[in-house]
Amino acid sequence: MAKNVIPITEMRIGEEGTIVGIKDKEPFPRRLWVLGLFPGKKIRKLSSSLAGGSVVLRCGTQELALGRGLATRIMVEVER
């Protein structure tokens, strides 16, 4: 399988990936570090709204909902 780097919003439901950074080489937001989301962290996409709403992730033992705007900027490496 090939490794691809995509935004969280393009992950499939149930797919796992590793956070690699933020799109366009922006600094990684401090609030994501506080939530436990940082480069190298493994996540699983649990759900997302078709109407442009939030994206729900599992990171370790916690579940987090991120707004679509932020989720679009977080880049993840997945195997497909």
- The arithmetic mean of pLDDT across residues 40-48, rounded, is 96
- Cα–Cα distance, 52 to 68 (Å, whole number): 6
Domains of the chain: 3-79 (2.30.30.90)
Please check the confidence at residue 27 and state whether its pLDDT lies above 90: no
pLDDT band at 9 (very low <50, low <70, confident <90, very high): very high
pLDDT band at 64 (very low <50, low <70, confident <90, very high): very high
User: What's residue 50's pLDDT?
Assistant: 77
Q: Classify 31 as helix, strand or coil.
A: helix
Average pLDDT, the chain: 90
Q: Classify 3 as helix, strand or coil.
A: strand
Q: Taking phi first (over 0 means left), then psi (-120 to 50 degrees means alpha), and beta for anything else, what does residue 19 get?
A: beta
Nearest to 74 by CA among 1, 10, 14: 10
